[in-house]
Structures are given as structure tokens and as C-alpha cells.
Amino acid sequence: MRLLAFRDTTTDRSLGVSADGISFHPVAALAPDLPADIETLLGLDGVLDRLAGLLAAAGPGRSLADVTLLPFLDRSNAFWALALNFKTHIAETGLTTSLDYPHLFLRTAASYVGSGEPILAPPESVARAFDYEGELGVVIGKPGRHIPVDRALEHVAGYTIVNEGSVREYQMHNRQFGLGKNFEGSGSYGPWMVTADEFGDPTKHSIETRLNGIVRQRSGLDDLLVGVAETVAYLSQGYRLRPGDMIAMGTPGALPPAQDDIEGRDLSRQYGPFPTPGLVHMRPNDLVEVEISGLGILSNPVVSDQPPTYRAG
């Protein structure tokens, strides 16, 4: 089952469920007693099974093509992300990371848009090394603390796709990533959360990032330095994981450019700290897609953010 948030002419924000990613039912229509925010909903014992049952018994749904998908998390306590967690990405950057502990930092809600919404590229005068990072997103369902690795996946409600858009110049301003990972609408997640029972073992899946149709990242999800269960268990040593906490599991390295791939070979157009053949920055008018088997496609047009002039409000 897919859990999603949508907007249409009658609602600014509602939750929906879909079996096939084509039609859906509003949660409020299937179960009017359920809360409207996903964090409270995910905290209810057995709620996903109940919704799946109601969805299976429901008549034909509405078309997802008729609504706008929104980032499905509403007031998440934490958007975690892992740095340097694919061996291919560690190799291409030449950076070091601990082999014992996940490399974790945080993003804000304001740094994400939903699937189909435009991602904002900084104007060139602000920054030019604006990079996609296709990632698996893990959404916590059942809260927990000091979770053993072998129980960790019981606390995952589902999975989503994340594009962890990054502004490299700002990321390198100091030792903590800070603002470079948190530009306005620089990343995205969605289009929905697929429940864990349906997605199954994350390591059996694969990820692919395409820029204007050209595949720029492709990897199995078994190449992670620190896996999903290990990361969930680690975080729960420090705090009580909450329903709706999200963890983006890190991004693979760039694929080598194809024979006829002119742009992927043109390092003179790379402005980041780690020029890599096959890595191409996102620019206005691009279309960026991240696909994960079993989850679907997260697709975003790239548009230029407004000029860097003072705006209050």
C-alpha cells in the first residue's frame, strides 16, 4: 500500500492511500476517525493493516493524476540523512568516514518539496554546484528506544525515494554541512511511502538517478556501508524514534559517462570540490528523476530560484 498526502480544489492537505499508484482513496473517506496528520496516524497500532483492509474493500478510487502530491510528512521531528554511505560515493570523493558509525546530519522540512513540484536551483551568482543525490528514504512507524538490530525493521513503517539536493559551495563553507544541505526546496521526497511489508528487504532493491533521461547514478541497495537496520538501531541509542522520522540512506557514486555523453565528460563545467566524470550539476529546465524498484519514480523539474535580492515576507 502507498500512503501519500495530496492537495486539490477542495483541500489544502489530506492523506490518501493507493494500492497501485494510479488511483487512490482519501484516508478521511475510508476511516473518518483517523487523524489528519501522518505522524499521529503512524503512531496508531495496526493502522496500516486497517487501512489496507479498508482499501481492498473500497470501490474504484479517484485518479492520482487529478491531484497534486505533497511531501507526505507534516510535522516530522527529524529528517536524518547519511553522508558517505555508498562505497562508490566514498571512492569518488576521496573522503573518509567512520567504518563503525553512520555519518549523520539533519535537514529541515523547508529543504524538501514533493514529487512533481519544482526543485529550486540557486541562481548562478549564489552557487553553481547544485547536485542530485538519489537515496532510499526510511520512515519510522513504531516508536522505540535502544532497538536491537534484529528488531529494527519492525519500527519501519515504510520506504520512500529522496533526492537530497545539495549546494556544494555552501556545504564546504565549514566543517558541518549546515546550510549547503538545506537550501529552500533544494531536495524532494515521495511520491509516497510504500509500506514495509510490500517493499520487503531493502538490500534486494536498486536505485537509479536520471538527469534529462540520462542515467547518472545506478546501484544496488546492498552497497551500503551502514544498513537500514543498523542505522535505526544506532539512532535509537540516543533518542526515542518517533513516527514520521525519516532517514535518507545516502547516495551512490556517479556512473562513468557513456561514450557519446559530452556533458558528463566536460569537467570544465563542474564547480564542486570533487569533479568526477559522469557527475553533472542540476540546472534550470532540467528534469531529475530518482527511481527505486518497488517504490516508483520521484520526478522533479528544476527551476531557477528567484534572484538574490532582499525580500521580506
Judged by CB under 8 A, does residue 68 bind its own copies? no
Kindly state the DSSP code that residue 241 receives in the 8-state scheme: B
End-to-end distance of the chain based on CA atoms, in angstroms? 39
Nearest distance, CB of residue 179 and its own copies, angstroms? 4
Residue 100 as a binder of its own copies (CB under 8 A): the answer is yes
Note whether 142 binds its own copies by CB under 8 A: yes
Please, which residues bridge with residue 162 across strands? Answer: 135, 189
Q: Which residues does residue 14 pair with via DSSP β-bridges, in sequence order?
A: 6
Q: Which is nearer to its own copies, 147 or 157 (CB)?
A: 147
Nearest to 48 by CA among 159, 160, 158, 139: 158
Q: CB of residue 297 vs its own copies: minimum separation in angstroms?
A: 26
Q: Segment near its own copies (CB under 8 A), from 55-63, 142-150, 280-288, 293-301?
A: 142-150
Does the CA dihedral 73-74-75-81 come out positive or negative? positive
Cα separation, 220 vs 23, in Å, equals 29
For its own copies, the closer CB: 77 or 206 = 77
Per-residue burial over 135-151, b if 16 or more Cβ lie within 10 Å, else e, is: bbbbbbbbbbeebeeee
> Out of 63, 68, 98, 293, which residue is the one contacting its own copies (CB under 8 A)?
98
Which of 75, 200, 267, 269 touches its own copies by CB under 8 A?
A: 75
By CB under 8 A, the residues from 199 to 238 that bind its own copies are 234-235, 237-238
Q: Which is nearer to its own copies, 80 or 159 (CB)?
A: 80
Contact partners, residue 157, CB within 8 Å, separation at least 6: 42, 48, 139, 140, 141, 142, 193, 195, 196, 243
Does 47 participate in binding its own copies (rule CB under 8 A)? no
By CB under 8 A, tell whether 240 contacts its own copies. yes
CB-nearer residue toward its own copies: 77 or 304: 77
Give yes or no for residue 251 binding its own copies (CB under 8 A): no
Residue 78 touches its own copies, criterion: CB under 8 A: yes
- Given candidates 97, 188, 195, 209, which one binds its own copies under the rule CB under 8 A? 97
* Helix/strand/coil for 2: strand
The answer to whether 255 and 278 have CB atoms below 8 angstroms apart is: yes
When asked if residue 101 is in the footprint of its own copies (CB under 8 A), the reply is yes
Q: Does 151 bind its own copies (CB under 8 A)?
A: yes
Pick from 187, 209, 189: nearest CA to 134: 209
Q: Which three cell numbers stand for residue 273?
A: 570540490
- Cβ 155 to its own copies, closest distance in Å? 7
Single out the segment in contact with its own copies by CB under 8 A; choices: 47-55, 107-115, 132-140, 249-257. 107-115
Choose which of 28, 31, 54, 126 interacts with its own copies (CB under 8 A): 126
Applying the rule CB under 8 A, the residues between 167 and 206 that interact with its own copies are 167, 170, 173-180, 182-184
Least Cα distance to 63 among 95, 21, 32 occurs for 21
Q: Tell me: cis bond preceding 191? Omega within 30 of 0 counts.
A: yes
Cα dist from 232 to 105, 151, 221, 257, 260, whole Å: 14, 10, 16, 35, 42
Q: Which residues bind its own copies (CB under 8 A)?
A: 75, 77-78, 80, 83, 96-98, 100-111, 126, 142-148, 151, 154-155, 167, 170, 173-180, 182-184, 234-235, 237-240, 242, 306, 308-313
